[in-house]
Structure 1
Amino acid sequence: MMTTGKDVITPLKALAQRCQNQGNAVAFVQPLGGGQVREYTWKQIDEEARKIAAYLHAQGMQQGDHVALVSKNCAEWIITDLAIWMAGGISVPLYPTLVAETVRQIMEHSESKFLFVGKLDDWDMMKAGVPEGVKQIALSLAPTDALEAFPKWPDIIRDTAPLADVHQPELSELATIVYTSGTTGMPKGVMHDFASLSTVGEKMIKVYNLTPDERMISYLPLSHVAERVAVEIAVLYVGGKIFFAESLETFGEDIKRAQPTVFFAVPRIWSKFYQKASDALPPKKLNRLLKVPFLNKVIKKKVLGAMGLDECRIALSGAAALSPEIITWFKKLGLEILEVYGMTENLAWSHTTEEGDQQIGWVGTPNDGVECRIGDGGEIMVRSLGNMKGYYKQPDKTAEDLTDDGWLHTGDVGEIDGKGRLRITGRVKEIFKTEKGKYVAPAPIENRLATLPGLEMACVIGEGMGQPIALLNITPEEQERLTKGHEKEHFTKELEALLERVNKELDPHERMTTLVVCKEAWSVENGMITPTLKLKRNVIEKHYAEQIAAWSKTRGVIWEA
């Protein structure tokens, strides 16, 4: 198990070390639009955090108060997190895509007294959910109406003296409440203390042999523990530089500016890289070129360079299984994507694939200090000091998911091989039974389908049906392309070939009869996917309930009318 004690360094002590050892080194690079960026040194980060902490005290914040934060990733997001801890508070991050109803649920449930409002695409969608009496503060990149209505970050930094004596938390103190994105119902508030953040922070840099020279790009939501630990906490403990993405439209330039040495992505991102590269250079042609000795290195560098990944030495994928086809394709280019496993409830600290020990379809061995076992019904259970302290104000749900002796019920089904590697075969609540009484795990099948260029997401359903079917979403780019000439006919043939190919890889009871191309895009805004880009199966199935029976009686590819 992990050890705790005086030798454990909290995130605030890690910040003090960075200031002492690398104080004048640039740590954050923030795009400001129009090609402009602002660079922050460690000393500047510390000073601004101390000023915000002092301002919170001046506004009446008490030790132990909950302070919420809603913003897309930016330098001030992390500085705010540090400032809340310096002031003795508990940070409550909100996803920047929540609707007003969910904002109100979380704000009221967490009893947050302050809200930092930052870089957002649709503040109008959210602001009605902020409860009366909550004091709001606008980050520098906040929407115009927030900047006009609330105290502004630049003014606070200009007019406030830095807090001299920052709070030094005990390891047992609560650091943050992270609300799960929730595929069903009310989000649960996962409580993590400073012991979790500290021990995982120190051990993570050893697992990946991180150095002060690392470069990372921060673009996945910092409100989710994976990005917060892999980027914010990692850099606090080792140093390095974080480049923030400006927008979805500029992501290509942002990643090329960063030239990340460490890059973490979810399968959907890796799939987009693969699809775009395959459009430009089809896999068969790539294979031929890679066989030419004098072209091999040039082609690898060119293809990875087009993605901004030619300097990447650690490539990670998590949140869901990554297609074997995509893993193999990147490996041919010299980039080994290592699958990792974790969840909000264990601070994303569970399993890691080690370089050179990759077995496709498996997520590696337990991280330092993590124990893993297979429980009833094949459920994966883990125990470590990365595990949560429980769900805020929900002792009954805590008792359901966390045993008295510290084992966490993950809700995932899996198996462990002779080397201790873990394979995830599905979710306990997602596995369905066909009318023949056979069980089907949808995720691995969806994973195989998602490799087709132009395909965004797949949702395999089949509860009580003769055979499963798959509902599909295609990318906006593909939607636009299909309006031209005979492209729809061509894409239909590609889908038919995909259905045949994937079915050959499945057991008879798993084989799909039908692929349905749905015309409505699944998004966070319409509730079809979570802010972490996971399918909300119950919502999707309910949305198409009236059509599913008819679709299941048809074979082949259907385009929703």
Structure 2
Amino acid sequence: MPVIRDTAFLDQLADNVAVQFHDRVAASPDAEAYRYPRGESWESVTWRETGIEVGRLAAGLLSLGLEMEQRVGIAANTRYEWILADLAIMCAGCATTTVYPSTNAEDTAYILSDSECRVVFAEDDEQIAKLRDHKAELPHLAKVVTFDGTTDGDWVIGMDDLAALGEAYLAEHPGAVEDTAAAIKPDQLATLIYTSGTTGRPKGVRLRHQSWVYEGAAIKVQDILHEDDLQFLWLPMAHSFGKVLLSTQLACGFATAIDGRVDKIVDNLAVVQPTFMGAAPRIFEKAHGRIVTMQASEGGVKEKLFNQAFKVGLKVDQLSREGKSVPLPLKLQHGLFDKLVFSKVRERFGGRVRFFISGAAALNRDIAEWFHAAGIVILEGYGLTETSAGSFVNHPEDYRFGTVGPVFPGSEVKLGDGDEILIKGPGVMDGYHNLPEETAKTLTEDGWLRTGDKGSLDSDGYLQITGRIKELFKTSGGKYIAPPMIESKFKAICPYASQFMVFGNERNYCVALITLDPDAMAGWAAENGMEGASYSDIVTSSAVKEMVSGYVDELNSRLNRWETIKKWELLDHDLTVESGELTPSMKVKRNVVETNYADKIEAFYAS
């Protein structure tokens, strides 16, 4: 039977994102809405100030003749202007088409052409060049609005130029933005998010206004986030995980500090001191690896103290989860280690974090438990772009390691053939843009979304993801292998790991391709007499191969015999988004990697 949670709050939902935004501005006019870096300092704006700026930009879009549901693209990194542009598009009754700034020119042109974008917000000259070079393929594109790029006063204008057009339009049509907002229907198209995909062209996921409004309200009604929270937002806003945090902010009213520079995340956390942040598991893996390797490099008493602290912390957590009392000596040790070790770990993340939210890929349980031992809660959640991102999340007061929590109130979940997870509810997409056959494959006639993921539900409705159906493979011996489970285990064991990719479909044993994290390896090199050496020289050295071999042996000791890695190779470079081997949300495009390194994989089985 599907698990169905309370739906009473659905009767009070705002009709659309524009009304939801205006309601937030009216409810919290003088409260901080956003802060963003300006040089070395941070600037802050209130909801009222944000509302005024969004109103001017929305009116500017209306002055360009845009009509309901017409598409407007955003090709930019995560920053305050991205939020302004998206809210303005919503308030003008148009639909946002998101484009990752790392998307190549050909795919950018395809996305903007397929969605028939009339206007595009382009971050800088690099993004403008992609549009200019493919202008012939974009017959619908009438105007480009740039954040930082060079304007020409005609086809390319600046944000201030658009706002000036809006002011002139409002002088003649003073209630235009409010009237437009009131006219937007709940089932009207709000967003087209093109999934990065691993094969073929990206597919445009059609998401309605009611989907985003529902997502935010579903978090609010679960009492997870509140007005006095402070979010740090770095996630790509072109990804549904970033977008859903925006709708959650409108529902809950907390402030958000924004900076999309991934290399600044840890530094920013120390300055901003947020109470929560959403992130992909790779961020937690890197943070875990960095802290562990730093302590190992110190050696001596400090390293022994660090290791003993986590041994005690993990034991105390285990006893607590099992409902057992913690012996007094262990409790006293834990209190001491909290002051000496765990508090220092928490300070690295600003010292005020109530919890992190992990999504976009599976989080390794060992890493979740390691952070928890230090007093940092990571709440794992689950959803897809096709479900407006959020469908499940653990709760701060009731979370279970190894699960993604219960289904959102107002949505349903059940397991289909082969234990495939099926989801139904207000967050589910309308379908894929211009792709009726693909839509029919993914949505059942009665509205259930086929996720492509395998799972299990416990008696309380907490969902555990057991594998991606397409990623499962069977060895020639008939044993099923779930590569992500093995891969995440290795990254929890080896603090230097970046990617660990397991192969072995229809073969008699499993093999792996391994990449190491460049930042972590620079630190290793400095400690091991190779400072200044190239990444390639470091990772191909006999010392590094011997080190990694030890970690692979440790991994194999924790696996079933048929899962063990018999052969492996270190690549002399890391995978990147730019190479096409990672999605912008840092998930490996497994089939791209398998194609690119087919010769290496085949060589594992040659003898």
TM-score with structure 2 setting the length? 0.85
CA distance in structure 1 between the aligned counterparts of 2:587 and 2:228, rounded to whole angstroms:
33
| Closer/same/farther in 2, CA of residues 435 and 5 from structure 1, 3 Å limit | closer
When structure 1 is superposed on structure 2, of 414-423 and 460-469 the one drifting more is 414-423
CA distance in structure 2 between the aligned counterparts of 1:233 and 1:31, rounded to whole angstroms:
22
* Pairing 1:86–2:86 present: no
Aligned to 1:348: 389
Match of 1:190 among 205, 210, 219: 205
Helix, strand or coil at the partner of 1:366: coil
CA offset digits 1:302-325 (Å, max 9, x no partner):
2111233x2111221112221222
CA offset digits 1:276-312 (Å, max 9, x no partner):
111222575324246363442353222111233x211
| Closer/same/farther in 2, CA of residues 86 and 122 from structure 1, 3 Å limit | closer
CA offset digits 1:160-205 (Å, max 9, x no partner):
3156332121112111111112122111111111111112211112
Match of 1:455 among 473, 497, 504: 497
When structure 1 is superposed on structure 2, of 112-121 and 359-368 the one drifting more is 112-121
CA distance in structure 1 between the aligned counterparts of 2:116 and 2:575, rounded to whole angstroms:
32
State the Cα distance separating 1:468 from its structure 2 match. Answer: 0.9
* Pairing 1:337–2:348 present: no
State the Cα distance separating 1:539 from its structure 2 match. Answer: 0.8
State the Cα distance separating 1:124 from its structure 2 match. Answer: 4.9
Q: Which runs of 4+ in 1 moved over 4 A?
A: 1-6, 119-127, 144-149, 481-484
* Pairing 1:157–2:177 present: no
CA distance in structure 2 between the aligned counterparts of 1:278 and 1:126, rounded to whole angstroms:
44
Match of 2:515 among 469, 473, 490: 473
Residue identity matched to 1:242: T
CA distance in structure 2 between the aligned counterparts of 1:389 and 1:284, rounded to whole angstroms:
55
State the Cα distance separating 1:350 from its structure 2 match. Answer: 1.6
CA distance in structure 2 between the aligned counterparts of 1:165 and 1:45, rounded to whole angstroms:
18
Alignment of 1:509-548 (within 5 A): 509-548=562-601
Match of 1:21 among 9, 27, 30: 27
CA offset digits 1:34-53 (Å, max 9, x no partner):
30433222112111111112
CA offset digits 1:212-249 (Å, max 9, x no partner):
1111111111111111112x111111212111115234
State the Cα distance separating 1:158 from its structure 2 match. Answer: 4.4
CA distance in structure 1 between the aligned counterparts of 2:337 and 2:82, rounded to whole angstroms:
44
Aligned to 1:315: 356
* Pairing 1:178–2:193 present: yes
State the Cα distance separating 1:444 from its structure 2 match. Answer: 0.3
CA distance in structure 2 between the aligned counterparts of 1:436 and 1:238, rounded to whole angstroms:
52
Give unmatched runs, 5+ long, in structure 1.
555-561
CA distance in structure 2 between the aligned counterparts of 1:459 and 1:541, rounded to whole angstroms:
9
Match of 1:485 among 517, 522, 529: 529
| Closer/same/farther in 2, CA of residues 293 and 173 from structure 1, 3 Å limit | closer
Size of the aligned set, in residue pairs, is: 550
Q: Give the alignment's Cα RMSD to 1 decimal.
A: 2.4
8 Å CA contact 1:215, 1:262 repeated in 2: yes
Aligned to 1:98: 103
8 Å CA contact 1:468, 1:511 repeated in 2: yes
Helix, strand or coil at the partner of 2:565: coil
8 Å CA contact 1:503, 1:512 repeated in 2: yes
State the Cα distance separating 1:6 from its structure 2 match. Answer: 6.5
State the Cα distance separating 1:208 from its structure 2 match. Answer: 4.3
| Closer/same/farther in 2, CA of residues 546 and 295 from structure 1, 3 Å limit | closer
State the Cα distance separating 1:485 from its structure 2 match. Answer: 3.2
8 Å CA contact 2:215, 2:248 repeated in 1: no
| Closer/same/farther in 2, CA of residues 75 and 176 from structure 1, 3 Å limit | same
CA distance in structure 2 between the aligned counterparts of 1:273 and 1:121, rounded to whole angstroms:
31
| Closer/same/farther in 2, CA of residues 361 and 458 from structure 1, 3 Å limit | same
Helix, strand or coil at the partner of 1:270: helix
Greater fraction helix: 2
Aligned to 2:561: 508
Alignment of 1:197-208 (within 5 A): 197-208=212-223
Residue identity matched to 1:417: D
CA distance in structure 2 between the aligned counterparts of 1:549 and 1:465, rounded to whole angstroms:
10
| Closer/same/farther in 2, CA of residues 271 and 317 from structure 1, 3 Å limit | same
CA distance in structure 2 between the aligned counterparts of 1:243 and 1:119, rounded to whole angstroms:
22
Helix, strand or coil at the partner of 2:262: coil
Helix, strand or coil at the partner of 2:515: strand
Aligned to 1:361: 402
| Closer/same/farther in 2, CA of residues 360 and 518 from structure 1, 3 Å limit | same
* Pairing 1:498–2:551 present: yes
Helix, strand or coil at the partner of 2:157: coil
Helix, strand or coil at the partner of 1:55: helix
State the Cα distance separating 1:545 from its structure 2 match. Answer: 0.8
Aligned to 1:558: none
8 Å CA contact 2:124, 2:150 repeated in 1: no
Residue identity matched to 2:47: W
Match of 2:244 among 229, 236, 259: 229
TM-score with structure 1 setting the length? 0.92
When structure 1 is superposed on structure 2, of 60-69 and 157-166 the one drifting more is 157-166
State the Cα distance separating 1:551 from its structure 2 match. Answer: 2.6
CA distance in structure 1 between the aligned counterparts of 2:337 and 2:9, rounded to whole angstroms:
52
Helix, strand or coil at the partner of 2:401: coil
State the Cα distance separating 1:147 from its structure 2 match. Answer: 9.6
State the Cα distance separating 1:64 from its structure 2 match. Answer: 2.3
Match of 2:145 among 127, 138, 142: 138
Identity of aligned residues (%): 30
Aligned to 1:375: 416
Match of 2:305 among 285, 292, 298: 285
